[in-house]
Amino acid sequence: MPKIEIDELRCKGCGLCATVCPKKCIVLSEQINNLGYTIAVLDEAGGACVGCALCAEMCPDVAILVFK
């Protein structure tokens, strides 16, 4: 089962990862990191992740790791 990890210290909440996810597994949360940005998190539907890694490729801050 694929798994993604989002480094909340690197995430600036741009939302690019959420827009490219074909399964809509990533959403922007209300949680704020130490830099004052809302962060991307794996949605409760995260079990639908297929490990395509489009989110990691799109992330300008290299904040996402994908494990297949």
pLDDT per residue rounded down to tens, the chain (68 residues): 888 999 999 999 999 999 999 999 999 999 999 999 999 999 876 578 999 999 999 999 999 999 98
Query: Whole domain around residue 56: which residue ranges?
Result: 3-67
Per-residue pLDDT, 1: 81
CATH number at 7 reads 3.30.70.20
How many beta carbons lie within 10 A of that of residue 4, not counting itself? 20
Structural domain count of the chain:
1
DSSP-based three-state secondary structure for 13: coil
Report how far residue 47's alpha carbon sits from residue 40's, in angstroms, rounded to the nearest whole number: 16
Q: What was the pLDDT predicted at 62? A: 96
